[in-house]
Structure 1
Amino acid sequence: MIRHFMAIATLPLGLLGAGGVLAQVQDPQEPAATYVDDLIVDGRNISQAARAFVEVVAEPPPGTRAARWNRSLCISVTGMRRDFAQYLIDRMSVVALDAGAEVDGPGCQPNVIIQATGDGRALAAELVEGAGLAFQPSINGTNLGRDALNDFLTSDRAVRWWHVSFPVEPDSGQIAIALKGQAPPTVTVRDASRLRSNIRYDLGYVVIVLDMSRTEGVPFGALADYVAMTALTQVDPMGDFRGEDTILNLFQPGIEVGALTQWDLDYLAALYTAPTNRASAAQQARDIAQRLAGLRRDGLVDAEP
């Protein structure tokens, strides 16, 4: 089974079910040329690079703080062949567990809803029309608002996503805002200050649409990692990530990335271990960046011969 999944992960999506071998014979009299990857020199120190990475990747709704899964993920995949769907769920589960999140098993109530299709725009329109309040823009800062919703509807990207997050009372897990048709909740004030908040922000659910007509040539394992990154953290769908070492550049022309980078993995670990009770988004972002910088330094030390 493991060998089967590994084989799936390395197949370009446009070549699933087909294969080929290309052999190149060199003149034995000519020395073989050696090619090396381009060397990129980053003049920033680790702390500066970590702050920049967090600033570019993290995109919570205005007036809120970065959310994460503080309850178990339940991943559902439809519109895809069963073995590929299972690989996607398994790969996302491994990434989530490594980051520090929890994952539910079969029979759970889905909160990570992934749908594959040959027409992403049409499916997005169908979902928004049919789901109603699930896509309602800007209900008390639960999502990125109308511009992001319009992008979800009209984008030509291979992957589009819609996050909904909620402020939550940490002790009870009760949502700390009034949803439509419900009475305002009562939130207990304990030790709030200019540094600490009485609430945290939880991801409530995420809807991800995969337009398979736009993934030709993309290895399925790389696609699975890309989807995992967008499911586990609030990412700006209109963000420009070209200056960072991240799987989010998977569909960026001229940039080769085939899996979650160490920056991605360390960022997720930092997000899922940073305190959730900071009073401001800026302070929380600093906490995450500091943890990310520490993980990067530790990784560089471990990598030294």
Structure 2
Amino acid sequence: MSIIAAIWASMSLLTGPETTMAQEVPDDVTAVEEVIVDGRRLEEVARSYVERLSYPPPGARLARWSRPICPSIANMRPELAQFVIDRIAVNALEAGADVAGPGCKPNVIIFATSDGRSLARRLVSENRLGFRPAMQHTNPSRVALREFQNSEKPVRWWNVAIPLEISSGEIATRLHGDLIYPDGGNVPVAVKVRDASKLRSNVRYDMAWTIVIVDLNKTDGVALGSLADYMSMVSLSQMDPEADLTGQQTIMALFSPDSEVGGLTTWDQDYLKALYSAPPDRADPRRQVDAVTRSLIQRRLADGAHDRERPRVSERP
């Protein structure tokens, strides 16, 4: 299946009411002032994690998968590809996302290659709509797209999220015509807005598809389990490829010099659970970040993980 065919298949499955409901997170958090992490208040550390690592498109709120994810991997030995797919699926289920069954239509599309930059440039050239399906709010900027094509990093990724009207599941933005009308046409999209308020939005942001490119020439010595956890993180959430990881306990530091991370950290696991449990309908991006941060704080307090980090084995088949 070509990328554009896979993307159109993802679009056909995207619309419709959300199948799972988020847990409401209170607007107030108690007993945070007394919890200290590395000399800082837990609230400060949690907010730093969310704000530094997350990377929604400009003007958009944090997105997550509401539909089941369906990972696919090209150019990797079948037994290794299955290991990675299974690892992503387990991480998704632990986060609170759903996973599609065999024969599903891919929406997390992973390529293994010996030349990541050349492949990225070719994919963007041949499938530009797949990277920028709308004028705004669905994907990172043009500058970010250039960096995606020209980066020398071992792993690069591109997330696309689509705003949907919560009650009906209708697409709440104007997509470029070829994606809405694959047979042609230019009928404008009319989005109905119901019961708006200053605290809640009528629109949620759903992850629609993700493209990941792994440059195998630059991942020598990295355990496959660690690499699979890294790909899980960038597939299940919108991670900033240029994030300042100073002081952060995260799998996103996998390729940093002298990194000792071996898999998803408890901060990563709790962040993903917070992302998938926080209400998706906050009124603006700042309030959405606040909601996810509150959920993250509560999880750190609940499991007592605020002052310790559990190692995770990065097994290889």
**TM-score greater than 0.5 by the shorter chain:** yes
Q: Give the TM-score normalised by the residue count of structure 1.
A: 0.83
Amino acid at match of 1:100: G
Q: Please say if 1:53 is aligned against 2:49.
A: yes
Q: Distance in 2 between matches of 1:154 and 1:171?
A: 40
Note the alpha carbon deviations across 1:126-167, whole angstroms, 9 max, x for none: 111111211238622211111110111010111000111111
Q: Please say if 1:271 is aligned against 2:275.
A: yes
Give structure 1 stretches of 5+ with no counterpart.
1-40
- Asked if the contact 1:77/1:85 (under 8 Å) is kept, the reply is yes
Q: Percent identity?
A: 49
Q: Please say if 1:300 is aligned against 2:304.
A: yes
Deviation at 1:171, TM superposition (A): 2.2
Q: Please say if 1:99 is aligned against 2:103.
A: no
Deviation at 1:196, TM superposition (A): 0.7
Amino acid at match of 1:246: T
- Map 1:1-305; keep pairs closer than 5 Å: 42-136=38-132, 139-181=135-177, 182-300=186-304
* Secondary structure, aligned partner of 2:156: strand
Deviation at 1:80, TM superposition (A): 0.2
- Asked if the contact 1:242/1:249 (under 8 Å) is kept, the reply is no
Note the alpha carbon deviations across 1:241-298, whole angstroms, 9 max, x for none: 1320000000000221000000000000000000011111111111111110111111
Deviates more, 1:106-115 or 1:128-137: 128-137
* Secondary structure, aligned partner of 1:197: coil
* Secondary structure, aligned partner of 2:130: helix
* Secondary structure, aligned partner of 2:125: helix
Deviation at 1:240, TM superposition (A): 1.8
Structure 1 runs (4+) greater than 6 angstroms displaced: 301-304
Give structure 2 stretches of 5+ with no counterpart.
1-36, 178-185, 309-317
Aligned length: 264
Q: Distance in 1 between matches of 2:305 and 2:256?
A: 31
Q: Distance in 2 between matches of 1:281 and 1:93?
A: 28
Deviation at 1:303, TM superposition (A): 9.1
* Secondary structure, aligned partner of 1:237: coil
- Asked if the contact 1:137/1:145 (under 8 Å) is kept, the reply is no
CA RMSD of aligned residues (A): 1.7
Q: Give the TM-score normalised by the residue count of structure 2.
A: 0.80
Q: Distance in 1 between matches of 2:196 and 2:205?
A: 15
Name which one, 1 or 2, has greater alpha-carbon Rg.
Answer: 1
Note the alpha carbon deviations across 1:190-246, whole angstroms, 9 max, x for none: 221111101000111010000000001111100000000000000111212132000
